[in-house]
Amino acid sequence: MANLIQELIAKRAAKEVEDGQIINLGIGIPTLVAKYVENENVHFHTENGMLGVVGIEEEDIDPNLVNAGKMPVGEAVGSSFFNSAESFGMIRGGHVDVAILGVLQVDEQSRIANWAVPGKNIIGVGGAMDLLVGARKVIVTMTHTSKDGKSKILKDCTYPITSTRSVDTIITDLAVFNYINGELHLVELMPGVTLEQVEKNTEARFVNVLK
Amino acid sequence: MKIFDSVDQALSCVESGQTIMVGGFGLVGGPLTLIDGLVDLDITDLTIVSNNLGEKGEGLGKLLEQKKVKKAIGSYFTGNRDVGEAFQRGEIEIDLLPQGTLAESIRAGGSGIGGYYTKTSVGTDLAKGKETKIIKGEEYVFEEALIADVAIIRAHKADMLGNLVYYKTARNFNPLMATAAKTVIVEVDEIVEAGELKSDEIITPHLFIDRVIIAKKILTQEGVVEHG
């Protein structure tokens, strides 16, 4: 079960979605975003080979109809299926407008780490690197700090980076940042959060452009 | 005649030391009957090309437990902890590829392309040791195509000629692997007469397919069950 903080982040991320967009949602918090998107004229893509992903009721679950997180999904009107090469051609070829991804760390240049942790037996990358090079806009959703209270928005990532591409928007439980002209811009505080809290929990340098 | 009655006959071409492509995204679209057939064979030193290596003790995970896998080429082994542990013990080699690169390398291998340049993984640990090239001002990394001795895949229906259609997200890597191995073996839910699959619905034309069997293991909401 997703907790309240994850739901809060997902709800905020849903506001970034624009009319007519093709959107790919990653595993974890990003998966929760779909239910908060009110615009019906957006289309969800999943890299295992489907365009037109929607939610599904428990009684209609089909074990051979899943998203990239292997969770059961439903078919929108006008949905389609395709093979993995075609699916990643869509991604790398710039045909997916927005990717919303979970991350482990972000650095000052808005580069992310989300596929490997040194010293741990995590041997998997999936579609993360393809989405980073191909999606027109990348939004990341994350808790601002790790479970032991350390900042996850760092000067430099300590885990291996997923791509040299900088992500466009970072949404956490404390704040929203946009990456503009080589700098992280603090554009919004989450409800009830103070600037001091963000400063205290953010290792990376950022520019405060709060109005 | 491409229709085979038994798994043993269908897998008679499999030998130790071969490279075997295995379709599926996790268990979804995986050739579960043929994988169990591999588990029963006395073979070793296999190179497996598949997105995952099953789950712990499930699907391809069984082959790993039996120490039949020498090398795994895929994109996401996190779902099976045994893979990481076997790797740490030096029991298997791993070639980790981004999922799109894995798919494209198989596509290339099946269509006579030796390799290609992609932007994916440039500047990351996965591009280390690989050739790079600047094309129109952007950096790309060279990836070699993948081919195999045998591919085992899953489709929804085959006709008597070996034409295939797939079911929903169980398609994934299967049509790609159908093109990229010397011998391609498919398990299906149903075999129909030639002509029953409409020409413009066929996803994999029969020239790619060598052997067809009826699937005995089906993925259901309750897990993998025997049928028939």
Q: Is the pLDDT of residue A13 over 60?
A: yes
Q: Do B85 and A121 touch (CB under 8 A)?
A: yes
Q: How far is B166 from chain A (nearest CA, A)?
A: 9
The candidate with the shortest Cα–Cα distance to A122, out of A95, A107, A104, is A104
Instruction: Say if CB A163 and CB A111 are below 8 A apart.
Output: yes
User: Hey, where are the domains in chain A?
Assistant: 4-208
Please check the confidence at residue A201 and state whether its pLDDT lies above 60: yes
Residue type, B166: Y
Scan for tokens 């542990």, then name that residue: B85
Q: How far is CA A111 from the centre of its chain?
A: 13
What's the pLDDT band for B228 if we cut at 50, 70, 90? low
Q: What percent of chain A shows pLDDT beyond 90? A: 95
Query: Strand, helix or coil at A120?
Result: coil
> Any catalytic annotation for residue A47?
yes
Residue A2: the pLDDT is 58
Catalytic pick from A16, A18, A47, A86? Answer: A47
Q: Mean pLDDT over all residues of chain A?
A: 96
**Mean pLDDT value across chain B:** 96
Query: Residues of A near B (CB-CB distance < 8 A)?
Result: 46-50, 61-66, 70, 75, 81-85, 87-89, 91-92, 116, 120-130, 133-134, 160-164
Alpha-carbon distance B193 to A47, whole Å?
A: 33
Would you state the pLDDT for residue B56? 86
Question: A84-92 and B99-110 are packed helices; what angle lies between their axes, rounded to 10 degrees?
Answer: 120
Q: Which CATH superfamily is domain A4-208 in?
A: Glutaconate Coenzyme A-transferase (3.40.1080.10)
Residue A4: both structure tokens together: 């309240």
Q: Decide if A56 contacts A74 (C-beta within 8 A).
A: yes
Name residue B35's beta-bridge partners. Answer: none
Residue B46's alpha-carbon distances to A65, A84, B1, B71, in angstroms, are 30, 24, 28, 7
CATH architecture of B7-226: 3-Layer(aba) Sandwich (3.40)
Residue of B nearest to A67 (CA): B169
Hey, are the CB atoms on B81 and A83 less than 8 Å from each other? Answer: no
Q: Which residues contact B166 (CB under 8 A, 6 or more apart)?
A: A81, B29, B155, B156, B174, B175, B203, B204
B65 and B87 Cβ atoms separated by less than 8 Å: no
DSSP B158-210: EETT--EE--GGG-TTHHHHTTSEEEEEEEEEEEE-TTSS-TTT-SB-GGG--
How far does B214 lie from chain A, in Å, by closest CA? 17
- The single-letter DSSP state of residue A58 is G
Answer whether 0.95 is exceeded by the pTM: yes
Q: Looking at the predicted structure, is the pLDDT value of residue B165 above 90?
A: yes
Averaged pLDDT for residues A179-186: 98
What does the pLDDT average to over A12-26? 97
**C-alpha angle with apex A66: A61 to A68, nearest 5 degrees?**
155
